[in-house]
Structure 1
Amino acid sequence: MTSTQTSGARRAPAATGGPSRSPRPAGGRGEPARRDPADVAQLAEHPVSYRRIGGLFAPHVRRLFVVVSLIVSSSAIGLATPFLTREIIDHALPNQDVALLLRCVGLLIAVAAATAVIGVLQTWLATGVGQRIMHDLRTRLFAHLQRQDLGFFTRTRAGEVTSRLTNDIAGVQGVVTSSATSAAANVTTVVGSLVAMLALSWRLTLISLVVVPPAIWVSRKVAHMRREVTARRQTALADLHGQIDESLSISGITLAKTLGSGPALADRFTTTSRGMYALEVAAQLAGRWRMATMSIIFAAIPALLYLAAGLPATSAGMTIGTLVAFTALQGGLFRPLMGLLDVGVQLTASTALFSRLFEHLDLPVLIDDPTDPVPFADVRGEVAFDDVTFRYPGAETDAVSGVTLRVPAGGHLALVGATGSGKTTLSSLVPRLHDVTSGAVRIDGVDVRDVALADLAAAVGVVSQESYLLHASVADNLRAARPDATDAEIEAAARAARLHDVVMALPEGYDTLVGARGHRFSGGERQRVAIARTLLRDPRVLVLDEATSALDNTTERAVQEALDVVARGRTTITIAHRLTTVRDADVIAVLDGGEVLEQGTHTELLAAGGAYARLWRDAGAVEQSVDSTLAA
């Protein structure tokens, strides 16, 4: 089975995110395994039944049976080697029996060849089973996490999700291909070796049973010391890697250069690197001590057996061939016996590994496809908020309360108000990024909760202030919206979004990599990529969430022109701080504290002299102040 370790941190609950954990074998060669407290805590918090784990292996039970049969066969065939060796030493060589010698030598070669072939076949089958289980778990978990609501990703660190999908699932393969097969091989080897040793000499077997336990105890003691030193080194190494990741990423470099903190970061890195010196030396010495101890043990045990074979009281006429064969058998007993002593620890670690995976697989899907989705084709785009209330999980107050709004197909609804007034939350209910607590959001009279998520995503497009780009080519970023889009369709969308000329100025045009998070592009250019993606999808309802608020005036005008092209003939819901961008909207709704204070056209709201009129006057004063500052 497999074990996992966390460097320098206690594991946090999945809801809040925990440190990334990398699975590793429970104990190495000669290494004792100890129950990881994090594994014990994981199982206490999220118990997992062996029946459920067994269910993962059930479809592959025949292959697993073949694997176990091959392991048993390989171990059994391998036990013939010491007996053939005894036959050669005791009979073939002393008696110059060439025929017997040839038979024994041929059988020795055949045994080696058979065990080698069986080993290759066993690895192929076991790896295949492990990969199939890993593939099934990985795809199931990825698909399940894709269905989680935004709240899950707000609560959970990205590193935790990545760790589950990579490290923990990779450990599943280790359970099948390495740990489980190793445990089966260890059992077979130990049992078979003891039987063969008894058949060769029961006296030497008794001596071995007395000598081996203290030898194992000494080896484990030294290995525990090495584990402690290695754990400290791994913690320091994790700190070193963390500094590298933070300081040498594109964002870290930008921050260091703008803050002038490069020298301080270099000094900090130097201190951490210097601390690795003593730990590396100690780790190497601990490893050398472990190897030295193992060497002494491996030399001492055969020496004691030779002594026993040479003393009249214990030899009982033992032949040289028997002694050589017995020593070979006993020499191969040490490591599998130590492996069996760690089975309990390995079982805990492996069960915890599955527990972490099942913990995420068992997360409820709060926003899911309806059981019987309503057909949703030929969407006109009429949007209605019917007495909508929404409260974030765990919050004490409503983010949106009793909102009723209508926007006709092809119309334009503008949501304005101060930061935190509920504009973005209200708009997020249309594409079902959240579900209403009460009331309903309807498109063409159909509650969005009754529509298949894929159909809703095709009908509603969102362009937000922060446009996320993949670390891929421009074309691939655009095709993320529509994988089957042709080059001509991509170019047409880019032209409409005022992006084509920008792309053609790049070294490789549409095949140019945009860089990590789109750093090759400016904010306005990233926005235009997002607009082009939206155009490719051709949604009937468009949500513009402060899509230009972070841009300068020149860039804003260019992006606004592109947005105007996108909005033509579509129902548009715009969230804006700059009121000049929404003055021509069909309906302007002013929100405060999640409630609609007033709604109407720009002219109507100015004439009413209410909240919108005050916002308009304040916005004008700010713009005049900015203009005066720039002129000065």
Structure 2
Amino acid sequence: MRRDSTDSLPTPADTGQPAQVRRIFRLFRPYRGRLALVGGLVAASSLVGLASPFLLREMLDTAIPRHRTGLLTLLALGMIGAAVVNSVFGVLQTLISTTVGQRVMHDLRTAVYARLQSMPLAFFTRTRSGEIQSRIANDIGGMQSTVTSTATSLVSNLTSVVATIAAMLALDWRLTAVSLLLLPLFAWLSHRVGRERKRITSQRQKQLAAMATMVTESLSVSGILLGRTMGRADSLTARFTEESERLAGLEVRAGTAGRWRMSVIGIVMTAMPAVLYWSGGMALAFGGPGLSLGTLVAFVSLQQGLLRPTVSLLSTGVDIQSSLALFQRIFEYLDLPVEITEPERPVRLERIRGEVRFEQVEFSYDPEGSVPPTLTGIDLAVPAGGSLAVVGPTGSGKSTLSQLVPRLYDVTGGRVLIDGVDVRRLDFDSLSRAVGVVSQETYLFHASVADNLRFAKPEATDEEIRAAARAAQIHDHIDALPQGYDTLVGERGHRFSGGEKQRLAIARTILRNPPILILDEATSALDTRTEYAVQQAIDALSAGRTTITIAHRLSTIRDADQIVVLDAGRIAESGTHEQLLAQDGRYAALLRRDAQLATVG
């Protein structure tokens, strides 16, 4: 059974429909001035629109029977003028409401993106990237009509309905009662349709997210390579076909849900003029009091004018209920708890020396305690400019230890300090300036070489970029490319080899110039020859910096000031290369294993 990654999302405490509606209204609060102007234009437009039936009544009851041509001309000009003014008001209303709606869309997109940027690394390890993209693109995009036109349509149609009913009552209350007899039933039917469409909309958005995930994963460079080398292109196409069929079915259901019920409402409202003419005609035939032909025609004109906003108002109610499913999915992301936050009174380090200390550090990916802690009782000190190497078997906690320094995770016990300050007390800017990371998996954007390097330092000059590339021993290769530093690196840097990407990552870090450097198995995936070239670049990068190296190949860390062997999250051994060899313990065993693997290789 396919499990939706949203199953792990927290459920907001306030998820009732009234609470959601109030929250949606709060999105428009910053633009209440412009919305008030829209409301004024809507009210004015409705009042101007109501003038035509009364002008028509005067034509039929006074101007035409009494042959008052001057009055007839004025009334006709009045009707034309009302139409012109109404059109101008409509254009202004659309312009302002669309602008407000797009600003609300912008606010939502940036709020969701900012919240996701503040999420801990653990969130992204358990959430599919396609799901995240679908929330921002499909869900927020699907709300566009709601925030740009639906709100205005609601106000406009509601104002028109109220004003029209008031005018109808002024003309004849009996005909008004006949016209409005079925409105409560229509409102109930539209509410039922709205609930049905909301449920289908929620299913459709989940299906869109599933398809976005599949496209993101299978049509990336890595996905294409895997699919073709495994001979799975046909099965992936078949699976996508099934997902697309499922989406097509949901789209049909969303488009047709409640159509018959809404059609019945439209038919009844369209047939109402015939009922009114029959009722009015019978009253006139039998001498009903207070009803003239002009009044009857003007009333039917008002009633026909009531048809469009009433049906539109009922449809708008359905659309709003459907869009609540989209808002709920967006609010789920906005309500995600931010686990790693900047303190209220952060400490800013103006001059960073680079001393790093771990004091009785403990860490668990599951603080509830159902999973054993990853790190326990870690006590380490790395002086400014010193070097620490961390080795150990897979799963011993090496990478986790390195991720605590830049606060990719927060400790669950103890402290990590930089220059004597707990990293949880540092402002984010100081922390990002202090720590640079070069990992085994290098990520490059689909942009030029220069743009990828400038990501570390946007204001870097061309000469600074070239100097960083020279230090990383990648300048000559870049310079030999037809477009040099303007060469596109391709999706995830696939135009470059593993060693070249690593040296680009090193050049990027050199440009950043952090006093503390973390090397997380930066050469473990490289062949021996490429590793030697990259290691030279790493040596240039490490000079004069505090360096913490997570090592897979022990040949790269022999000269470290201190070597620590982790085992099951605890420090099993600690010392220099010579000291640990003399102990003939775990470190010596790891060295013998490496030597055997090198011999077999």
Query: Do these two structures clear the TM 0.5 threshold for a shared fold by scoring above it?
Result: yes
Structure 2 residue 432 is matched with structure 1 residue 438: no
Q: Residue in 1 aligned with 2:70?
A: 99
Within 5 Å, give how 1:530-541 maps onto structure 2: 530-541=505-516
Q: Distance in 2 between matches of 1:59 and 1:235?
A: 31
User: C-alpha offsets along residues 364-421 of structure 1, whole Å, 9 cap, x if unaligned?
Assistant: 4433333444442332323222332222234432211222223332222111110111
Q: Distance in 2 between matches of 1:217 and 1:133?
A: 30
Cα deviation, residue 153, structure 1: 3.0
User: C-alpha offsets along residues 533-567 of structure 1, whole Å, 9 cap, x if unaligned?
Assistant: 10111111110000111122232222222112111
Structure 2 vs 1, CA of residues 394 and 469 (structure 1 numbering), >3 Å: closer, same or farther?
farther
Structure 2 vs 1, CA of residues 159 and 280 (structure 1 numbering), >3 Å: closer, same or farther?
closer
Q: Is the 8 A contact 1:389 1:400 kept in 2?
A: yes
Q: Residue in 1 aligned with 2:457?
A: 482
Specify every segment of 5 or more residues in structure 2 that has no aligned partner in the other structure, as ranges. Answer: none
Within 5 Å, give how 1:463-542 maps onto structure 2: 463-542=438-517
Cα deviation, residue 524, structure 1: 2.1
Q: Distance in 1 between matches of 2:422 and 2:337?
A: 22
Q: Residue in 2 aligned with 1:378?
A: 351
Q: Residue in 1 aligned with 2:426?
A: 451
Q: Residue in 2 aligned with 1:369?
A: 342
Query: SS of the counterpart of 2:180?
Result: helix
Specify every segment of 5 or more residues in structure 1 that has no aligned partner in the other structure, as ranges. Answer: 1-7, 19-40, 627-632
Q: Is the 8 A contact 2:201 2:326 kept in 1?
A: no
Within 5 Å, give how 1:81-230 maps onto structure 2: 81-93=52-64, 95-162=66-133, 165=136, 177-210=148-181
Q: Residue in 2 aligned with 1:35?
A: none
Structure 2 residue 524 is matched with structure 1 residue 553: no
Cα deviation, residue 500, structure 1: 2.4
Q: Distance in 2 between matches of 1:51 and 1:614?
A: 65
Q: Distance in 1 between matches of 2:476 and 2:87?
A: 63
Q: Residue in 2 aligned with 1:588?
A: 563
Cα deviation, residue 207, structure 1: 2.8
Q: Which residue type is aligned with residue 605 of structure 1?
A: L
Q: Residue in 2 aligned with 1:308?
A: 279
User: C-alpha offsets along residues 51-101 of structure 1, whole Å, 9 cap, x if unaligned?
Assistant: 766655444433332222221111111111222233334444455543223
Question: Which of 401-410 and 458-467 deviates more?
Answer: 401-410
Question: Which of 107-116 and 262-271 deviates more?
Answer: 262-271
Q: Residue in 1 aligned with 2:594?
A: 619
Q: 1:575 pairs with 523, 526, 550, which one?
A: 550
**Over the residues paired in the alignment, what is the CA RMSD in angstroms?**
4.1
Q: Which residue type is aligned with residue 15 of structure 1?
A: L
User: C-alpha offsets along residues 211-233 of structure 1, whole Å, 9 cap, x if unaligned?
Assistant: 66677889999999999999999
Cα deviation, residue 445, structure 1: 3.1
Structure 2 vs 1, CA of residues 102 and 250 (structure 1 numbering), >3 Å: closer, same or farther?
farther
Structure 2 vs 1, CA of residues 284 and 135 (structure 1 numbering), >3 Å: closer, same or farther?
closer
Q: Is the 8 A contact 2:356 2:384 kept in 1?
A: yes
Q: 1:461 pairs with 436, 440, 460, which one?
A: 436
Q: Distance in 1 between matches of 2:63 and 2:318?
A: 47
Structure 2 vs 1, CA of residues 571 and 45 (structure 1 numbering), >3 Å: closer, same or farther?
farther
Q: Distance in 2 between matches of 1:505 and 1:97?
A: 91
Q: Residue in 2 aligned with 1:328?
A: 301
Give % identity: 54
Q: Which residue type is aligned with residue 436 of structure 1?
A: V
- Normalised by the length of structure 2, the TM-score is 0.85
Q: Residue in 2 aligned with 1:15?
A: 9
User: C-alpha offsets along residues 195-249 of structure 1, whole Å, 9 cap, x if unaligned?
Assistant: 2223333343233234666778899999999999999999988877776555444
User: C-alpha offsets along residues 436-490 of structure 1, whole Å, 9 cap, x if unaligned?
Assistant: 2333323333333332221121111000111122222222211111111111111
Q: 1:69 pairs with 37, 40, 49, which one?
A: 40
User: C-alpha offsets along residues 303-333 of structure 1, whole Å, 9 cap, x if unaligned?
Assistant: 3333334332487685554444323321232
Q: Distance in 2 between matches of 1:605 and 1:618?
A: 15
Structure 2 residue 572 is matched with structure 1 residue 603: no
Q: Distance in 2 between matches of 1:617 and 1:507?
A: 46
Query: SS of the counterpart of 1:186?
Result: helix
Q: Is the 8 A contact 1:169 1:357 kept in 2?
A: yes
- Normalised by the length of structure 1, the TM-score is 0.81
Q: Which residue type is aligned with residue 192 of structure 1?
A: A
User: C-alpha offsets along residues 133-173 of structure 1, whole Å, 9 cap, x if unaligned?
Assistant: 44445444433432332233334444554455555656777
Q: Distance in 1 between matches of 2:340 and 2:117?
A: 11
The count of residues paired between Structure 1 and Structure 2 equals 596
Q: Is the 8 A contact 1:211 1:301 kept in 2?
A: no
Structure 2 vs 1, CA of residues 241 and 437 (structure 1 numbering), >3 Å: closer, same or farther?
closer
Q: Is the 8 A contact 2:193 2:258 kept in 1?
A: no
Query: SS of the counterpart of 2:71?
Result: helix
Q: Distance in 1 between matches of 2:425 and 2:123?
A: 22
Query: SS of the counterpart of 1:418?
Result: coil
Q: Distance in 2 between matches of 1:529 and 1:349?
A: 48
